[in-house]
Chain A
C-alpha cells in the first residue's frame, strides 16, 4: 500500500495513521504500532509522518515507543498540542525526530506552542506547524487566512512563525458529505467519483496557495493533479 502510494502516485512522504491504537478504535498496543511503522519504513524510501489521535494517555505511550524503536529515522511525529506536548517533544529530541505542532486555527497559539517547544531545546528545524483545517465548505476559509497571516508574519521576520506548514485535506475530505452522497440525492453536486477528487483537490490547492508546505492527501486523482500543479508552479512549465 505505502509502496503503491510512492511508486504509482508519487507520494514524497507517507503518513502512517496509528488510529488503531485508540482505545475505541482497535486498542492496539504500542508494540503493534512500532511493528506497523517499521514495516512501512522497510517498504519505502521516503520519510514517514507518524500520525496519532487525541487520546493523549495512549498516544503518548505509542509515540514514545515508536520514537525509541525508530531512533535516528527522523520521523515527523504528528502531533503535539498546547495541552499535550512534553512527552512527544521529549522523545523527538531524544531520538532525533521532528514534530508537528498543532494549534486550533489560531496564530497566537501557534506561536506560543513554538515558543514552548523551543524552550524545551527543540530546534526550530524540527518543528512543522499544523494550523488545522476543515474540508472545503467546512471552515477552510479560517485556516486559509490564518495560514496567510502566519506566512506573512514569518516572512516579516518572526522566527516563531517561520516554519513550514502541514495540512491534511485527505483526512478532512473523507469525513464530509460531499465525499459520500450520491448524485441522485444531490443533483447539483454532480457525479460522486469526480466530485470526491475535485473536493480534495480544491481543498488542497486552496491551502497550497495559502502557504501549505506539506499536504496529507487521500484521493489518488487529487494527489496526481496537485503534484502536477505544484511542479508547474515551481518550474513554470505548461
Chain B
C-alpha cells in the first residue's frame, strides 16, 4: 500500500540536513510519496525506513521473471481496469506437448512453436512458453523431453507433473531456464519449493479451494520461497471468471499478499472455439500464463491480437510509423490520400480504401498519434506540415498523381496545403472513413 508523505516523514531522521536536496525531511517525504525521489538520496535513512518503504513500494502482485535472462515477466499489476493506469505484463501464452505424444509429433510441434511469428502493427509476437506435460510414468523420459523442449525452443517451460520425483528430474535437466514447476499441492509444496529454489525455477501452487490455496502460498512464503504462481482449480467458465477476479481484486484492493501472484491456467476445453472462450476470459481477466492444448495459428493470432489490445497502454495513443503506405497495388497514377498516424484512424482509413477495391497511396505524417480533429486542433495536422512531409519523403518523384484527398473534418486546411504543394490539387474527402468507399466510387473512378 502506498504511504502518505506524513507517514513517510515519521520514518525519516527529521534533522532537515538538506543533503537529499530538499529543504526539509518533510519536503523529501512528500517527494517520496509522489515517487519523485528515491530513499537512497537520504544518506541517514534508517534500516526500518528502508524496510517499510521497500515493502510499501512492492506491487500488490509479485513480479516473476522467467526464461534464461528472466526476460519474460509476469505480475507486477497495480490496477483492476486498464483505464485506471495500465496493465503491466501481458498474459503469457504457452503451447502444450505431452511425453506420451509420438516423438515425430513432438518434434513437429516444438519446431512449429519455435518458428511461429505473428507481425502485427509493427510488433513481432511469438509463443512465450512451452508446456511439457507428463502423462506417462517415466521420470527420465519426462526430463529428457523437457530438456529437448528447452533446447529446441529456448523459451521458458511449464513443467507439469503430479510426481515430485519427475518434477525434480525435469527441474534439474532444465536448470537455468527459469521455468515453472506445476503444480505443487499443499502436501507437496514444501518439497517442491526446495527443488524450485535449488534450480532457479518458479513454483505453481494449486489446491481444491481458494482457502486452501492461500494457506499454502502463505506457508511457502513463510518458509522463505516467494517465487510463486497460483493455479486455480475451477470447474466452469463462471467459476474461472469469478475466481480470477476475486483473487486479483483481493490482492489489489486489500493488499492481500497470499493472492498477490500471477496465475497459471491449462485450457481444458476440447473444441477450438471452446478453448478460445477460456483463453479470452484469462486474457481479459488477469490471466498470468495460459497454456493452450495445441498450436492453431487461427486461435493464436486472434488471442495475441486481443492480448495486444487489452494490454496496450491506454494513456499512450498508439501510433503507426509516419510514411507513405501502399494500399493494394498502387501505381504512379493511383490516388493519394492523407490521414493521421493514430493507428486506429490509420487502420480504419486504410481498411475502407481497401474495401473500395481501389489501389492508392496513403500519406501518414507525424501527428503524435492523434486523431484527425485532435491533431488539427493541436496544430499537428496543418496544411504546411503535410506539405513539408510530402516533400521530405519524396512522394513527388514516386508518383505522378497531383491530387490529394484530405479528411472532410479538416476542409479548412486545403488552401494552406495547396500553397505549400505547388501544382497539387486538394480534394476534400468525407468526414467519416465509412463514407470513403462511396466517395471513391463517385469521385475517383
Contacts and interface: CB of A to CB of B under 8 A. Distances in A.
A188 B306 contact: no
Interface stretch (B234-242, B402-410, B420-428): B234-242
Contacts of B116: 188
A187 B277 CA distance: 23
Given A145-B83, A202-B305, A134 B348 contact: yes
A60 to B, nearest CB: 17
A137 B309 contact: yes
Contact of A206 (B81, B284, B343, B344): B284
A133 B354 CA distance: 19
Main secondary structure of the interface of B (DSSP, over half): helix
A199 interface: yes
A229 interface: yes
Contacts of B435: 54
A195 B301 CA distance: 8
Given A24-B441, A138-B347, A194 B299 contact: yes
Nearest to B235: A238
Contact of A237 (B236, B241, B296, B302): B236
B352 to A, nearest CB: 8
Nearest to A195: B298
A233 interface: yes
Nearest to B234: A238
Contacts, number: 144
Nearest to A53: B434
A195 B302 contact: yes
A136 B434 contact: no
A141 B302 contact: no
Interface stretch (B13-21, B22-30, B131-139, B268-276): B268-276
Interface string B352-374: 00110000000000000000000
Contacts of B343: 139
A202 B348 contact: no
A54 B432 contact: yes
Given A54-B435, A202-B302, A229-B237, 19 more contacts: A134-B348, A137-B309, A138-B348, A139-B348, A140-B306, A144-B310, A145-B82, A145-B83, A152-B81, A175-B355, A187-B297, A194-B298, A195-B302, A201-B273, A205-B284, A206-B284, A221-B273, A222-B273, A225-B277
Interface of B: 81-83, 116-120, 235-239, 241, 272-274, 276-277, 280-281, 284-285, 296-303, 305-306, 308-310, 312, 314, 343-344, 347-348, 351, 354-355, 432, 434-435, 438, 441-442
13 contacts: A138-B344, A140-B309, A144-B82, A145-B81, A176-B351, A191-B298, A195-B298, A198-B272, A198-B298, A205-B280, A206-B280, A225-B273, A235-B238
A-B interface, 10 closest residue pairs, ranked by CB to CB distance from nearest: A190-B298, A190-B297, A139-B344, A195-B298, A236-B238, A194-B298, A145-B83, A225-B273, A141-B309, A232-B237
